[in-house]
Amino acid sequence: MLRYRLIDICRGLAAFSVLTWHYQHFFYPTAGAGFSAQSRPTQPFYDVLWPLYEHGAAAVSFFWVLSGFVFAAVYLGRPVNARAFLVHRVARLYPLHLVTLLLVAALQWFSWQTVGHFQIYPLNDAYHFGLNLLMMQWWGFQSGFSFNAPTWSISVEVVIYGLFLVSLFGINKAPTLGAFLCAAAAILVVASGVASPFATCATFFFSGVVSYAILRRSAGGAAATAVLLIIVSIVSTWFREEGQSPYDEAALFSGIILLAGASDTIFPIRTARLDWFGDATYGTYLLHIPIQIAALTAFQLVGLPTADIAVQPWFFLAFIAVVFIAAIVVFRTVERPAQNWVKAKLGGQFGSYGANITSGSPPIDASNAKAVGSFAKMSIRVFHRS
């Protein structure tokens, strides 16, 4: 069985990007206060990490593309069992989401009681707790970011999971064409001016599905397509006056994932030493906010100057290390056991859905799935996305 270990590494790097982007939270004096763009250069290692400090939020789009790739690798060309699909999604996503939601709620309550205000995100009321509990926190009913706010992207993505499940019946008849049509439909919705996070997520997600459909036909064709997509994205961004568009991002991220997938297929990495990097991704995504809330509350409680501490390189390194260590511990002691428990309770037969093909979006899908990657002969055929 093939594990896409280079894609795993990309996934871990995307998680690091999110942590770097959200490092600015340490400079919030109170919830919702924000951090000015002019102050970003004061953050540790800015000269090296400035792309992540300035554009790290784009990692969410990367995770969406990666999720599409992973789901295609697991389900494309296979019989679809809707019950198994839904149970697996619940088992994979909900246990840690629930644990961290309750943890953040407790930490915010403690912060309010001890220092007189919430940390980072201000909307921590019963209404938004209910939305988060149902994973509906970014379906249009919200007033803004709340509780463990990065889970907004998961809230959007679960809707696209349902769309993917429905579309599978058609995609499996013509994988490349079917996936392309789904991606094209989402792009048309975005291009029409509809400001919908669901359409945006679908654009990236189905770009990932198309990427895997190309890879399963030919690793050589995938590599050639990847290079073309990356070049097109860079050139398009260079000449676009208003900066990078979602289409440029979709092309760039699809190209990166395709190139990594082709490399993993042709030259698979045998060592498992870095598998933890990918395994920890979902945990880093859900744990870094409660860790930040706890740190901010503690510093303010004892009167330490948080901003003065946060500009120190050692503190940045300590934060990254604590988050990744906590994530891998939680993966082994909470995530994986909880997945098995939920599956046992809800029933359903599942294949190996995890370590052999790493997930996309923190989420977000870090399950252990059989790789369905193709070891086709090398070719230089290019399968166009448009």
pLDDT one-digit tens code per residue, 198-225: 989 998 999 999 899 889 888 888 888 8
Within a domain: 373: no
- Per the structure, the count of domains in the chain is 1
Give the sign of the dihedral formed by CA 223, CA 226, CA 232, CA 233: negative
**Band of residue 243 on the pLDDT scale cut at 50, 70, 90:** low
Q: Report the candidate in 331, 365, 347 with the shortest Cα–Cα distance to residue 73.
A: 365
Within a domain: 27: yes
| Range ranked top by mean pLDDT from 109-123, 196-210, 264-278, 353-367 | 109-123
Could you tell me the residue range of the domain that residue 106 belongs to? Answer: 5-346
pLDDT one-digit tens code per residue, 130-159: 999 999 999 999 999 999 999 999 999 999
pTM for the whole structure: 0.85
Within a domain: 375: no
User: What is the Cα–Cα distance from 73 to 209, expressed in whole angstroms?
Assistant: 8
Query: Does the pLDDT at position 168 exceed 80?
Result: yes
Within a domain: 372: no
**Band of residue 347 on the pLDDT scale cut at 50, 70, 90:** confident
The share of the chain scoring above pLDDT 90, in percent, equals 54
Residue type, 265: T
User: What is the Cα–Cα distance from 232 to 248, expressed in whole angstroms?
Assistant: 8
Query: Does the pLDDT at position 54 exceed 60?
Result: yes
- Nearest 5 degrees, angle CA 371-CA 379-CA 179? 50
Within a domain: 359: no
Within a domain: 367: no
Within a domain: 274: yes
**Whether 202 contacts 182, CB under 8 Å:** yes
Burial label, 379 (beta-carbon count in 10 A; 0-12, 13-18, 19+): middle
Within a domain: 351: no
